[in-house]
């Protein structure tokens, strides 16, 4: 891979999370499928927030969380995403820059406010999300920084952005520019419901533009409309250069051509909140990949990062993740 000034450029939703503790009854009462992400409009966001308990705000967004992880691992990251010029937008911008990620996408000066995700953490440490995408959906091809894309070893795309029509076009343009520059393109499928909404176009994107795929068991079986993980596995092979398929406590599988690697999960000290597990797995994997680690080591670094983030409430790391690398790759 040619010399590049950026390891990973993430393109994703720019969201502030509002995290509160909740219970299953609340989820049922408000028709929120447990463990999933429901898109909500401004009115429903207002109603749900009124009903929600006291919250804690912190910057989120799936790929943005991964970028925080890459910075914490010592990688060089950049992010493209859209906030409004409001207080929550200022918080998002501060937090991602404060960890050392480049973030220069101009704020929207009119239109919807900065996106927020209401996160309900149940006593079993699962998180159920309701997202008001707000200004995030304004991201379009005009926000792409093609110099950044050329400079990034990997351009990493967030599946959730597929819900925003302008962003789809931006993704395809970004992927083409990355490949033209000899770089790689990664995609996270983000969420099973998201896959259900966009199955065909995700498959097209995967065939035409994606080198590295991240998906969990639910997402990959939904993508190929099959019942079990093993059947999905057979479908994946040959459809992208590298696939990293995560299965929570069962670990992950890393596939590439004829290579198949089984990577164990790293048992966390405790499980407080599974928010960000997939995001941080991807962070570890992509960091490893851009540093030239073997594919199984990429998966092991990902597993170590995921283990850290589920051991506390919140989707961004609380310790310098680079301290986890030696233990992760010594196997």
Q: How far is the CB of 96 from a second copy (least distance, A)?
A: 8
Q: Which of residues 33-52 bind a second copy (CB under 8 A)?
A: 49-50, 52
Q: How far is the CB of 51 from a second copy (least distance, A)?
A: 9
Taking CB under 8 A as the rule, does residue 95 contact a second copy?
A: yes
Question: Which position among 5, 28, 29, 87 is part of the footprint of a second copy (CB under 8 A)?
Answer: 87
Which residue, 177 or 321, is less far from a second copy as judged by CB?
Answer: 321
Mark the segment that binds a second copy (CB under 8 A) among 74-82, 96-104, 202-210, 288-296.
96-104
Q: How far is the CB of 94 from a second copy (least distance, A)?
A: 6
Mark the segment that binds a second copy (CB under 8 A) among 178-186, 204-212, 298-306, 313-321.
313-321
Which residue, 119 or 210, is less far from a second copy as judged by CB?
Answer: 119
Question: Which position among 45, 48, 78, 88 is part of the footprint of a second copy (CB under 8 A)?
Answer: 88
Mark the segment that binds a second copy (CB under 8 A) among 80-88, 142-150, 230-238, 281-289.
80-88
Taking CB under 8 A as the rule, does residue 94 contact a second copy?
A: yes
Distance CA(29)–CA(31), nearest Å, equals: 6
Question: Which position among 31, 43, 54, 109 is part of the footprint of a second copy (CB under 8 A)?
Answer: 54
3-state secondary structure the chain: CCCCCEEEEEECCCEEEEEEECCHHHHHHCCCCCCCEEECCHHHHHHHHHHCCCCEEEEECHHHHHHHHHHHCCCCEEEECCCECCHHHHHHHHHHHHCCCEECCCCECCCCCCEEEEEEECCCCCEEEEEECHHHHHCCHHHCCHHHHHHEEEEEEEHHHHHCHHHHHHHHHHHHHHHHCCCEEEEECCCHHHHHHCHHHHHHHHHHHCCEEEEEHHHHHHHCCCCCHHHHHHHHCCCCCEEEEECHHHCEEEEECCEEEEECCCCCCCCCCCCCHHHHHHHHHHHHHHCCCCHHHHHHHHHHHHHHHCCCCCCCCCCCHHHHHHHHHCC
Taking CB under 8 A as the rule, does residue 113 contact a second copy?
A: yes
Question: Which position among 27, 63, 68, 263 is part of the footprint of a second copy (CB under 8 A)?
Answer: 68
Q: How far is the CB of 129 from a second copy (least distance, A)?
A: 18
Q: How far is the CB of 19 from a second copy (least distance, A)?
A: 9
- Tokens 């909140």 correspond to 273
Distance CA(50)–CA(278), nearest Å, equals: 29
Mark the segment that binds a second copy (CB under 8 A) among 24-32, 91-99, 204-212, 227-235.
91-99
**Residues at the contact surface with a second copy, assessed by CB under 8 A:** 21, 49-50, 52-59, 68, 86-88, 91, 94-96, 98-99, 113, 314, 316, 318
């Amino acid at each position: 891979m040619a010399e590049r000034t950026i390891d990973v450029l993430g393109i994703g939703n720019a969201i502030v999370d509002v995290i509160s503790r909740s219970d299953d009854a609340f989820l049922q009462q408000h028709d929120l499928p447990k463990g999933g992400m429901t898109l909500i409009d401004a009115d429903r966001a207002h109603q749900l927030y009124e009903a929600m308990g006291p919250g804690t705000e912190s910057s989120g967004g799936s790929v943005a969380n991964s970028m925080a992880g890459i910075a914490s691992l010592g990688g060089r990251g950049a992010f493209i995403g859209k906030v409004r010029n409001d207080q929550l937008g200022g918080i998002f911008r501060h937090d991602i820059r404060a960890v050392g990620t480049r973030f220069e996408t101009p704020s929207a000066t009119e239109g919807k406010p900065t996106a927020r995700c209401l996160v309900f953490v149940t006593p079993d440490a699962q998180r159920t999300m309701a997202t008001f995408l707000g200004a995030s959906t304004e991201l379009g091809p005009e926000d792409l920084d093609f110099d950044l894309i050329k400079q990034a070893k990997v351009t990493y795309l967030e599946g959730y952005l597929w819900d925003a029509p302008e962003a789809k076009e931006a993704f395809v343009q970004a992927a083409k520019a990355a490949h033209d520059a000899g770089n790689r393109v990664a995609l996270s499928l983000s969420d099973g419901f998201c896959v259900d909404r966009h199955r065909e176009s995700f498959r097209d994107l995967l065939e035409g533009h994606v080198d590295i795929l991240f998906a969990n068991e639910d997402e990959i079986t939904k993508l190929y409309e099959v019942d079990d993980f093993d059947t999905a596995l057979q479908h994946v092979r040959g459809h992208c250069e590298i696939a990293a398929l995560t299965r929570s406590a069962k670990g992950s599988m890393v596939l590439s051509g004829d290579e198949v690697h089984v990577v164990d999960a790293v048992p966390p000290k405790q499980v407080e909140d599974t928010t960000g597990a997939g995001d941080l797995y991807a962070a570890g994997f992509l960091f490893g990949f851009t540093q030239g680690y073997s594919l199984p080591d990429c998966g092991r670094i990902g597993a170590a990062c995921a283990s850290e983030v589920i051991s506390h409430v919140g989707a961004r790391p609380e310790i310098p993740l680079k301290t986890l690398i030696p233990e992760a790759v010594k196997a």
